[in-house]
Chains A and B, each alone.
Chain A
Amino acid sequence: MFEQWSWFVLTFIGFVLIGFLVYLLGNRKTREEEKKYETYTCGEDFPMVTVSTENFYDSLKKAVGVDVLRNYHSGKLSDYLLWIMIGTVVVIFSIIIWAFA
């Protein structure tokens, strides 16, 4: 199954190294024209915005309802035990249905 794989990976690594070399060559110190970068940012000053690591993906979490899942993980042992009991009943009934299907 993996006869060609090692060659593929070695080629992949080779191309990554070539790419890195091209990147290094492309970043050689060159003379820059005055105000060269202004066209890229329309000459505006953007304030530096930082987001704390804890708040990464906050919008995504709200969009996909992760907060709902978090609410179910209440930290209460009685809830956990209820889940285990429900899970056990579901497993047993699923196996019964599957075995007799």
Chain B
Amino acid sequence: MLLILFSATFLVLVLRRDEIAVAAILFSFFSVCYMLLNPDIMVVRFGGWLPPFGIVWVLDKFNLFFALIVTGVSSFVAVYSLKYIKERRYRFYTLLCLQTIGLLGISLTGDIFNLYVFFEILSVSSYALVAFFLDKRAIEGAFKYLIAGSLTSTFILIGIGMLYGLTGTLNFADLASKVSLASPYIVALGLMIAGFSLKATIIPFHAWKPDAIEGTPAPVGAVFTTASTAIGVYGILRILFIFNLIQLNWVLILFGVFTMLVGAFMALAQVNVKRMLAYSGISQIGYVVMASGFGTLLGLTAGMYHLFNNAILKSILFMGAGIAIYVTGKDNLNGMGMRNTPLMVCMGIGLLSLSGIPPLNGFVSKWLIFMASWEISPVLTALAIIASAITLAYSFKIFSAIFLTTERVEKDVPKILLIPVVILTIICVLIGVFPQIGMNIVEPAANALLNHSQYITAVMGG
């Protein structure tokens, strides 16, 4: 899977055929879907070396859940960008392939230094994608992301170095059986959580994101607010898993609540649609982080279900807003008015779902989060409901700006731009009506994260 993506990266650059990249990314998505059907943990040893000496890839339900999110979003973005990106498209697809490699590698590897290598591949390709338009906003956003990202990458590297120095191993499973809660380990844990918090855009590590997304192409914004943030959450949960700290965690809960509320209020104040969606993404990650902090099966299931739904919804909204930008040539809320009924229906459903209105997928995961938070403290439930109400408020603002203004642009929307948005909207409604579809993917993933000993046995003893 990874070899095909690597080959596609070079072939696109040499042959300048974008279809190769689209085919490779779609192939990786279908491969992950196929692997999800396997009920057992699969361990791939590179070069035949046994762990902990060789690099291993571990394909358990938790890893594959994140791989599904990243390849799924990348696939929709790849198809959408065939029309959306007008110039230097082969460079865009080269970078998109590299970004997918980074995202996929992080979610599947079982080796902490290998994770760092893929983290850097992801980061470098992301910096270039942010700067893709090469205008003032894009370059400024990319520069801020580059500096902030380099700082936190250094934190992760120092954390990995400390863990390696203390335990003499880089394998997740081996680390999990050797780490303790002595002071140096705690500092390493803190540094790595801070590092991954930048990718997850937890407040106060979030500020680069709206600036970066404002200058990027809209489909790249979709990857940033879904796949890239999901990988940040993955990193935090995997590190906590290594330390066997998947339990009630007030640090995560408080950071989550703060992120959820501040993100929502900041989204309300924005006048640029991409910045507003960026803050909306930050706010939704707050829900995920808060629910993950509960440490219960219900909490983790709720958080991961919301991450899954957020990936679908933010893809709809970014790609939908991208169509409005494509048609009107503006990304400020004033002046984005356009008329297109299918897009209006899709964006309307996406925004209602984001606000947690039944019977859509956003309601299902938010309802689970409310139930999980009620078990910990009703105050948390109340705060989550307040954040949902603010979400509804800014959702109206986006919808009104694009579809309810008196001055509207009437132009045909290319069908290839609409197809991914319509498919994702259908998935959004289907999951809302039949939530068990999503539960069948999310619950085994949450179970895998809670089953510490099964993972260690599968890797070290298998």
Residues on B with beta carbons closer than 8 Å to the beta carbon of A96 = 183, 186, 190
Decide if B268 touches A66 in the complex (CB within 8 Å).
Answer: yes
Determine the residue in chain A with the shortest Cβ distance to B272.
A54
Decide if A95 touches B189 in the complex (CB within 8 Å).
Answer: yes
Report the stretch among B32-40, B106-114, B395-403, B409-417 that lies at the interface: B395-403
Query: Does chain B have a CB within 8 A of A9?
Result: yes
Residues on A with beta carbons closer than 8 Å to the beta carbon of B250 = 98
* C-alpha spacing A97/B446, complex, angstroms: 26
* C-alpha spacing A9/B439, complex, angstroms: 17
Query: Does chain B have a CB within 8 A of A36?
Result: no
Q: Which of B189, B211, B255, B269 interacts with A61 by CB under 8 Å?
A: B269
Q: Which of A64, A79, A84, A91 interacts with B251 by CB under 8 Å?
A: A91
With contacts A61-B269, A95-B189 taken as known, whether A80 is within 8 angstroms of B251 at the C-beta atoms is no
With contacts A69-B265, A94-B251 taken as known, whether A79 is within 8 angstroms of B207 at the C-beta atoms is yes
Decide if A88 touches B190 in the complex (CB within 8 Å).
Answer: yes
Decide if B144 touches A60 in the complex (CB within 8 Å).
Answer: no
Query: Does chain A have a CB within 8 A of B187?
Result: yes
Q: Which of B207, B254, B400 interacts with A83 by CB under 8 Å?
A: B207
Query: Does chain A have a CB within 8 A of B147?
Result: yes
Interface string of A76-91 (1 = CB under 8 A from B): 0101110110111001
* C-alpha spacing A97/B186, complex, angstroms: 10
With contacts A9-B433, A83-B204, A87-B204 taken as known, whether A70 is within 8 angstroms of B266 at the C-beta atoms is yes
Decide if B197 touches A70 in the complex (CB within 8 Å).
Answer: no
The number of chain A residues with a CB under 8 A from chain B is: 39
Q: Which of B151, B187, B334 interacts with A54 by CB under 8 Å?
A: B334
Query: Does chain B have a CB within 8 A of A56?
Result: yes
Decide if A6 touches B400 in the complex (CB within 8 Å).
Answer: no
Residues on A with beta carbons closer than 8 Å to the beta carbon of B189 = 95
* C-alpha spacing A94/B397, complex, angstroms: 37
Query: Does chain B have a CB within 8 A of A20?
Result: no
Query: Does chain A have a CB within 8 A of B289?
Result: no
For window 135-184 of B, CB contacts with A under 8 Å fall at 143-144, 147-148, 151-152, 155, 181, 183
Decide if A61 touches B268 in the complex (CB within 8 Å).
Answer: yes
Query: Does chain A have a CB within 8 A of B393?
Result: yes
Residues on B with beta carbons closer than 8 Å to the beta carbon of A61 = 268-269
Residues on B with beta carbons closer than 8 Å to the beta carbon of A54 = 271, 332-334
Residues on A with beta carbons closer than 8 Å to the beta carbon of B255 = 91
Decide if A57 touches B439 in the complex (CB within 8 Å).
Answer: no
Decide if B400 touches A56 in the complex (CB within 8 Å).
Answer: yes
Decide if B334 touches A88 in the complex (CB within 8 Å).
Answer: no
Q: Which of A12, A84, A98 interacts with B249 by CB under 8 Å?
A: A98
Query: Does chain A have a CB within 8 A of B31?
Result: no
Please report whether the interface of chain B is mostly helix, strand, loop or mixed according to DSSP.
helix
* C-alpha spacing A98/B143, complex, angstroms: 35
With contacts A83-B207, A86-B204, A88-B191 taken as known, whether A2 is within 8 angstroms of B359 at the C-beta atoms is no
Q: Which of A1, A6, A10, A92 interacts with B190 by CB under 8 Å?
A: A92
Residues on B with beta carbons closer than 8 Å to the beta carbon of A70 = 266, 269
CB distance from B452 to the nearest CB of A (A): 17
* C-alpha spacing A1/B393, complex, angstroms: 30
CB distance from A100 to the nearest CB of B (A): 8
Query: Does chain A have a CB within 8 A of B405?
Result: yes
Query: Does chain A have a CB within 8 A of B198?
Result: yes
Query: Does chain B have a CB within 8 A of A25?
Result: no
With contacts A81-B148, A84-B152 taken as known, whether A60 is within 8 angstroms of B268 at the C-beta atoms is yes
Decide if B268 touches A57 in the complex (CB within 8 Å).
Answer: yes
With contacts A83-B204, A84-B151 taken as known, whether A2 is within 8 angstroms of B432 at the C-beta atoms is no
* C-alpha spacing A60/B432, complex, angstroms: 31
* C-alpha spacing A98/B253, complex, angstroms: 12
Decide if B186 touches A84 in the complex (CB within 8 Å).
Answer: no
Decide if B358 touches A53 in the complex (CB within 8 Å).
Answer: no
Residues on B with beta carbons closer than 8 Å to the beta carbon of A5 = 364, 434-436
Interface string of A6-28 (1 = CB under 8 A from B): 10011011000000000000000
Residues on A with beta carbons closer than 8 Å to the beta carbon of B6 = none
Q: Which of A12, A13, A56, A64 interacts with B265 by CB under 8 Å?
A: A64
Q: A53-B405, A60-B268, A84-B204 are in contact. List 11 more A-B contacts (CB 8 A).
A: A2-B434, A13-B433, A52-B334, A56-B397, A64-B265, A70-B269, A79-B207, A84-B152, A88-B191, A96-B190, A99-B245
Q: Please report B residues at the A interface, Cβ cutoff 8 Å.
A: 143-144, 147-148, 151-152, 155, 181, 183, 186-187, 189-191, 193-194, 197-198, 202-205, 207-208, 210-211, 245, 249-251, 254-255, 262, 265-266, 268-269, 271, 332-334, 358-359, 364, 393-394, 396-397, 400-401, 405, 432-436, 439
